[in-house]
Structure 1
Amino acid sequence: MQNLSEKISLKGQVMLFTGLIVLLSLLILSFFVAHNQSKNTREYLAEKVQSSASYIAYNDLVQKSLIDGEPTQELLDYVELVRAENNLLYIVVMDNNKVRLTHPDSNQIGQTFVGTDAERVFHGERYTSEDIGTLGPSMRAFHPVWDNEGNQIGAVAVGIATSAVKEAVLENQIILILLTGISLFLGLIGAWFLANRIKKTLNGMEPKEIALAIQERNSMLEAVNDGILAINNAGEVLLANDRAQQFLRRTGYQGEFEHTPIDHIWPELKLQDALAKESAASHELIKKGDVETIVTRVPMYVYEQCVGALATFNERSQLHDIMRQLIGTQSYAKSLRSETHEFMNKLHIIQAMVETESYEELKDYIEDLSDRYHLKTASAVSHVEKLVEDVSIAHYLAKRIGWMEKMEVNVHIQSGIPWPSMSTELIDTWVTVIGNTFDNAWEAMQHKEHKNLTLTLKHVGGVLRYVIEDNGTGFSANEQQQFLASSKKGDHGYGLANIKKKLKIFNGTLDILSEKNKGTIITVHIPYTERSQEDD
């Protein structure tokens, strides 16, 4: 059935199933009607022959002929006239010995009545029955005949052919079948109009297309990074995507969402204002508990009629993180433009020396550029190598410090006993710590006019100590808890949760000291044991 529904269009399905329902209903109705009609037709014919038998039995000609023992021509003519007018098979007048006085076949007059169902009439009973007589199967009615003194002097049998009964029943059934066919045809026409109306209501879409559209709509709603809330005209929530539900749960609401008044969930949102005013409001600052959000509210229209309202929102802190990242990107782009400009100037100098064929000066100039580059790089690496024996960490740290200095950050380095060589797993952990803390420090300082970064590397009492201090924006204790609790990589631009996960492998610790607008100090300790001979 599922494969059939996929192959047949919605219009075809509506017509098919409606037609089947109409047909089944008509068949059931026709069965009962046909049964009743057959029964009523038989009862009608039985009553007809019984009435005819009674009418004949009380006729004076019949009584006189039975008393005389022979029929008169007048009786024969009268009986034949009644039989013909009523379309009867026969009318038989017989005496108490079953001898016929009348019969449509004159040769049968004087013969004994045929049938086993005539005995009861001679006991004074009136009844109908079906039996086979001289003229074939028939439905017949029996009626006794009495004289004026009440003595039974004979009986009357009136018969109608069984085939005539069947023909009458069949005629009624044919009419019923025609009516059923007409009703089915009208039902299919109605189904066609209904299917067209449904199709128009669904904008011409098939059920499979509607289901796919709903799945796509749900996927898009959940893929959006904003919280989404929608209400109907009654102010009840129609939709709350996962992002909205997570935010509302986190800020204190623990009830149901669908069909719940928005005032019970987030009264400060005032989403009904978009319904009442039927106008949009963009980027409004609205609180939910202690959390500030940026909200956009718009009314929803269907066929130019306002049917509800929609709100999209995001936490203000998240937007600030995005802005800091954008500012960082702009600063990085500015640095690249500066280096590109400097590089182009050098290319112009080289081009001029080539055009003037000053090859000796060109050679000296290129060697000077190369020496300056290697000196600068070697100086940074050699400086860090004094702090860290492991070459891979030294090069990585030098690269990060060099980038900070290019971004006009004043980097100050402090050291005690240098870090020793270490295992690959520990190197990976330190790369994670250094990378994330440097990124966080840059995000916090990038809006500052004067950027200062202090880095401390020490090896004290079997513990590797790493301290990084910046003069950035800092963050509150609540924000710190949110960042550490987040399992999402890079959430809010901070990698603190990722660092904490890495440190757990080596029983390391992470301490944070931060104050709004005054900076942050992050301290990391990892216990260190000498590597085994296999590692060496």
Structure 2
Amino acid sequence: MKRLWEKITLKGQVMLFASLVVLLSLMILSLFMGYKQTNQTKEYLAEKVRMSANHIANHTLVRDSLLAGESNQTLIEVIELIRTENDLLYIVVMDNDKVRFTHPVREQIGQIFVGTDADRVFTGERYVSENVGTLGRSMRAFHPVWDDVGNQIGAVSVGISTDAIANAVLENELMLILVTAISLMIGLIGAWLLANRLKKTLNGMEPKEIALAVQERDSMLEAVDDGILAINNAGEVLLVNDTAKQFLRRTGYQGHFEHTPIHLIWPELKLPKALATTSAFYNELVKKGDVETVVTCVPMYVHQECVGALATFKERSHLNDMMRQLVGAEVYAHSLRSETHEFMNKLHIIQAMVETESYLELKDYIEDLSDRYHLKTASAASEVEKLVEDVSIAHYLTKQISWMEQMGVSVHLQSGVSWPSMNAEFIDVWVTVIGNTFENAWEAMQHKDDKRITLTLKQVGGVLRYVIEDNGVGFSSNEQGKALKSTKKGDRGYGLANIQQKLRPFNGTIDILSEQEKGTIITVHIPFKGRGKQHN
């Protein structure tokens, strides 16, 4: 049954459901109205025979005949005329001995009235009952007849066939059936119009297709690496994917998302402005807490009406990583081309030595190539593990050095006593120091042909020393002061203020020595004695 229902289209389901509702409602109404009409018909007919009996009981001919003790032709004809005009089954006038003075069947005149329900009328009571007489089952009214001094001289019984009641009820039921059919037809037309309206509103899609489209949309939203936020025309959050939720939680917002005004979640975002002005804002820098993002805000339209606004964003650090990867790939490709050219030259030299049978020179040449290769592969990055015992910092520093070498930077390491293992808070500080200083060094050198960095790691008297020297564009004295205060992305020396802030809880210091067009030396000291892992 469930599978059959699922096979029916939305239009068919709406029409069928609406029709069943209308039909059930009409059936209940018909039963109620039929019951009520039946009772009303019975009451009406009962009142009719009651009034007829009352009228005949007070008729002069009836009184005179009962006082005379015999029926007469005039009485019989008058009573029969009244009976036929009022569509009654019978009218019987009888004396106190139940002898009939009138009856539709002439042979019954003079006979005893049939029915035990006639007894009460001779006690002066007026009433209506149902019983079976010589003409079949009928509803009949009884009324006593009195003379002028109030003595009962007889009675009148007026009957109407129960078939007449059934016919009246049937007429009412047929009318109800007709009304029900017409109402059902109107309901079907209304259901058809409603189904068409729904289909048009849903762009002709079936419920299964809508559910599938919603699931596909959710899957696509969660698969996107960018954060996505959408608001309705009231400025409340309509949609937010997991990437955006994780970012907002990480940067300080801990409340609900759906139906929350956007200014309570991220006030700096230009979604309300994009909605109000129906203008788009592309690739703008927007901060959330201490994190910078690159945001695009665009209005959303449905049937050429602006119904909300959508924002997509990515952390700037992620974009910087991608740019580094692209630049690194470019440098690597250029390096491969150079290596290929150099390799072909070496092959030509080897070929020439073979052809001239200069085998001793060939042996010396190959040994020289081998020595130079091993010297080149023993890069500064491979020496990091000798300088830093902590695996986390060693791995991070190796990664930074490798990236610099890929970018064409010559990295030279100097050391004294190696750095020991550290706890989590120290690791966090040094990751900030290394990351920001390497980034500033690269920014200072990226436009120079000859790029060089000298890195010094030492431990002196319980103090960890970190020195990084580059041959970049350097700082002026004025810029050096600003570098330790600036927290705005894009300013020269961005990140040095962050380092200084990280160092304060550990009594660390940072010094800058720089000369324009010659380079910069950044020195960081952090007291370490008694704060390693062994003391946790």
Query: Given that residues 231 and 262 in structure 1 are in contact (C-alpha distance below 8 angstroms), is that contact kept between their aligned partners in structure 2?
Result: no
Q: Secondary structure at the match of 2:443?
A: coil
Whole-angstrom distance in 1 between the partners of 2:193 and 2:255: 48
Per-residue deviation, 1:157: 0.9
Q: Which residue of 1 aligns with 2:174?
A: 174
Identity %: 48
The within-5 A match list for 1:288-327 is 294-304=294-304, 306-310=305-309, 312=311, 314=313, 318-319=315-316, 322-323=319-320, 325-327=322-324
Q: 1:361 to 1:202 in 2, by over 3 A?
A: farther
Matched, 1:339 2:336: yes
Q: Which residue of 1 aligns with 2:517?
A: none
Per-residue deviation, 1:98: 0.6
The within-5 A match list for 1:366-381 is 368-377=368-377
Q: Secondary structure at the match of 1:230?
A: strand
Query: Given that residues 274 and 298 in structure 2 are in contact (C-alpha distance below 8 angstroms), is that contact kept between their aligned partners in structure 1?
Result: no
Query: Given that residues 83 and 90 in structure 2 are in contact (C-alpha distance below 8 angstroms), is that contact kept between their aligned partners in structure 1?
Result: yes
Q: 1:79 to 1:403 in 2, by over 3 A?
A: closer
Which letter maps to 1:336? A
Q: Which residue of 2 aligns with 1:486?
A: none
Q: Which residue of 1 aligns with 2:231?
A: 230
Matched, 1:445 2:444: no
Per-residue deviation, 1:271: 3.0
Q: Which residue of 1 aligns with 2:16?
A: 16
Q: Which residue of 2 aligns with 1:136?
A: 136
Per-residue deviation, 1:167: 3.0
Which letter maps to 1:34? G
Q: Which residue of 2 aligns with 1:34?
A: 34
Q: What 5-or-longer segments of structure 1 have no aligned partner? A: 481-491, 501-508, 530-536
Per-residue deviation, 1:190: 0.8
Residues 466-519 of structure 1: per-residue CA shift (max 9 Å, x gap) = 846355899869979xxxxxxxxxxx99xx9xxx9xxxxxxxx99784879967
Query: Given that residues 418 and 459 in structure 1 are in contact (C-alpha distance below 8 angstroms), is that contact kept between their aligned partners in structure 2?
Result: yes
Q: 1:25 to 1:256 in 2, by over 3 A?
A: same
Q: 1:397 to 1:274 in 2, by over 3 A?
A: closer
Residues 401-432 of structure 1: per-residue CA shift (max 9 Å, x gap) = 67745644343322335799x9xxx9xxx999
Query: Given that residues 328 and 446 in structure 1 are in contact (C-alpha distance below 8 angstroms), is that contact kept between their aligned partners in structure 2?
Result: no
Query: What is the alpha-carbon root mean square deviation over aligned residues?
Result: 5.4
Q: 1:477 to 1:15 in 2, by over 3 A?
A: farther
After TM superposition, the structure 1 stretch with the greater mean CA deviation from structure 2, 197-206 or 143-152, is 143-152
Which letter maps to 2:43? E
Q: Secondary structure at the match of 1:36?
A: helix
Q: 1:23 to 1:523 in 2, by over 3 A?
A: farther
Q: 1:50 to 1:257 in 2, by over 3 A?
A: closer
TM-score by length of 1: 0.71
Query: Given that residues 275 and 308 in structure 1 are in contact (C-alpha distance below 8 angstroms), is that contact kept between their aligned partners in structure 2?
Result: no
Q: 1:185 to 1:254 in 2, by over 3 A?
A: closer
Residues 121-150 of structure 1: per-residue CA shift (max 9 Å, x gap) = 223333211122233321001122334555
Q: 1:279 to 1:86 in 2, by over 3 A?
A: same
Query: Given that residues 467 and 521 in structure 2 are in contact (C-alpha distance below 8 angstroms), is that contact kept between their aligned partners in structure 1?
Result: no
Q: Secondary structure at the match of 2:98?
A: coil
Query: Given that residues 281 and 297 in structure 2 are in contact (C-alpha distance below 8 angstroms), is that contact kept between their aligned partners in structure 1?
Result: yes
> How many residues in Structure 1 have an aligned counterpart in Structure 2?
498
Q: Which residue of 2 aligns with 1:184?
A: 184
Q: Which residue of 2 aligns with 1:109?
A: 109
Q: Which residue of 1 aligns with 2:63?
A: 63
After TM superposition, the structure 1 stretch with the greater mean CA deviation from structure 2, 306-315 or 93-102, is 306-315
After TM superposition, the structure 1 stretch with the greater mean CA deviation from structure 2, 19-28 or 401-410, is 401-410
Whole-angstrom distance in 2 between the partners of 1:227 and 1:164: 78
Q: Secondary structure at the match of 1:166?
A: helix
Q: 1:469 to 1:108 in 2, by over 3 A?
A: same
Q: 1:298 to 1:328 in 2, by over 3 A?
A: closer
Residues 305-358 of structure 1: per-residue CA shift (max 9 Å, x gap) = x3344252658xx42662364145314422432333331442366379769983
Whole-angstrom distance in 2 between the partners of 1:111 and 1:135: 14
Q: 1:400 to 1:170 in 2, by over 3 A?
A: closer
Per-residue deviation, 1:93: 1.4
Q: Which residue of 2 aligns with 1:157?
A: 157
Q: Which residue of 2 aligns with 1:194?
A: 194
Matched, 1:95 2:91: no
After TM superposition, the structure 1 stretch with the greater mean CA deviation from structure 2, 398-407 or 22-31, is 398-407
Which letter maps to 2:326? T
Query: Given that residues 274 and 297 in structure 1 are in contact (C-alpha distance below 8 angstroms), is that contact kept between their aligned partners in structure 2?
Result: no
Whole-angstrom distance in 2 between the partners of 1:374 and 1:465: 32
Which letter maps to 1:307? C
Query: Given that residues 83 and 90 in structure 1 are in contact (C-alpha distance below 8 angstroms), is that contact kept between their aligned partners in structure 2?
Result: yes
Q: 1:62 to 1:465 in 2, by over 3 A?
A: same
Query: Given that residues 130 and 138 in structure 2 are in contact (C-alpha distance below 8 angstroms), is that contact kept between their aligned partners in structure 1?
Result: yes
Q: Secondary structure at the match of 1:204?
A: coil
Residues 65-108 of structure 1: per-residue CA shift (max 9 Å, x gap) = 32333322343344334334433322211111111122233443
After TM superposition, the structure 1 stretch with the greater mean CA deviation from structure 2, 143-152 or 470-479, is 470-479
Which letter maps to 1:337? H
Matched, 1:50 2:50: yes
Q: Secondary structure at the match of 2:444?
A: coil
Residues 369-428 of structure 1: per-residue CA shift (max 9 Å, x gap) = 4443234336879977986999xx9999999867745644343322335799x9xxx9xx
Q: Which residue of 2 aligns with 1:534?
A: none
Whole-angstrom distance in 2 between the partners of 1:270 and 1:186: 48
Q: Which residue of 1 aligns with 2:124?
A: 124
Q: Secondary structure at the match of 1:448?
A: helix
Whole-angstrom distance in 2 between the partners of 1:250 and 1:35: 72
Q: 1:255 to 1:110 in 2, by over 3 A?
A: closer
Q: 1:84 to 1:386 in 2, by over 3 A?
A: closer
Query: Given that residues 465 and 523 in structure 2 are in contact (C-alpha distance below 8 angstroms), is that contact kept between their aligned partners in structure 1?
Result: no
Whole-angstrom distance in 1 between the partners of 2:220 and 2:91: 89
Per-residue deviation, 1:257: 7.4
TM-score by length of 2: 0.71
Which letter maps to 2:339? E
Q: Which residue of 2 aligns with 1:271?
A: 272
Query: Given that residues 296 and 313 in structure 2 are in contact (C-alpha distance below 8 angstroms), is that contact kept between their aligned partners in structure 1?
Result: no
Query: Given that residues 459 and 465 in structure 1 are in contact (C-alpha distance below 8 angstroms), is that contact kept between their aligned partners in structure 2?
Result: yes
Which letter maps to 1:102? T
Q: Secondary structure at the match of 2:468?
A: strand
Query: Given that residues 441 and 470 in structure 1 are in contact (C-alpha distance below 8 angstroms), is that contact kept between their aligned partners in structure 2?
Result: no
Query: Given that residues 280 and 298 in structure 1 are in contact (C-alpha distance below 8 angstroms), is that contact kept between their aligned partners in structure 2?
Result: yes
Whole-angstrom distance in 2 between the partners of 1:175 and 1:398: 95
After TM superposition, the structure 1 stretch with the greater mean CA deviation from structure 2, 343-352 or 29-38, is 343-352
Q: What 5-or-longer segments of structure 2 have no aligned partner? A: 475-479, 489-493, 515-519
Whole-angstrom distance in 2 between the partners of 1:150 and 1:107: 31
Query: Given that residues 129 and 140 in structure 1 are in contact (C-alpha distance below 8 angstroms), is that contact kept between their aligned partners in structure 2?
Result: yes
Query: Given that residues 464 and 528 in structure 1 are in contact (C-alpha distance below 8 angstroms), is that contact kept between their aligned partners in structure 2?
Result: no
Q: 1:307 to 1:415 in 2, by over 3 A?
A: closer
Q: Secondary structure at the match of 1:155?
A: strand
Whole-angstrom distance in 2 between the partners of 1:98 and 1:49: 19
Which letter maps to 1:56? I
Which letter maps to 2:320? M
Which letter maps to 1:341? S
Whole-angstrom distance in 2 between the partners of 1:166 and 1:399: 101
Whole-angstrom distance in 2 between the partners of 1:137 and 1:386: 121
Whole-angstrom distance in 1 between the partners of 2:106 and 2:367: 148
Which letter maps to 2:240? N
Query: Given that residues 353 and 361 in structure 1 are in contact (C-alpha distance below 8 angstroms), is that contact kept between their aligned partners in structure 2?
Result: no
